[in-house]
Amino acid sequence: MITPGIFHKIKIIVIGFLFGAILLIAMSVIQKIIVGHTPLLHKECIILVLFGGVSGSLITHYLFKIKTLNKALQQRVNTLESVLPICSYCKKIRKPKTDWKNPNSWQPLESYITDRTASQFTHGICPNCMEKLHGKKYSIKPEPTYPEPN
């Protein structure tokens, strides 16, 4: 059974085929008239229809593909660029269009981003937090840098 999406794609490719064939024939007729030859022979017409049609089909196929990919990219950018409601204490993010009072509406930052992107997380501890949690004993001081001799 043909789904509406497949039918739409076939329709676009057929329209592209017809448009490409008509455009190539028209351009050939104009060129022949300008040069002063007889407009077209039957054999030339078949070749022009095939080449024009295939070219038009390919162009419309790729334009359709670009349009689809642009739409998906725009949705992804909108997801990543929207304002995120985040808890100022635990840093959980509220799922879009949910009640802020419902505890199930909030999810950890890492899982929110991993669900919506190809990003993965690994955890470590920064030097400031290391010092706050463990004191000076585990404090990480940056290595001193020395200028290179000339």
pLDDT 10s digits, 125-140: 887 888 888 877 766 6
Pairing mode of beta strands 93-94, 106-107: antiparallel
pLDDT band for position 66 (cuts 50, 70, 90): very high
Reported confidence tier of residue 64, pLDDT bands at 50, 70, 90: confident
Report whether 60 contacts 12 (CB < 8 A): yes
pLDDT at 103: 84
pTM of this prediction exceeds 0.85: no
Q: Is 97 left (phi over 0), alpha (psi -120 to 50) or beta?
A: left
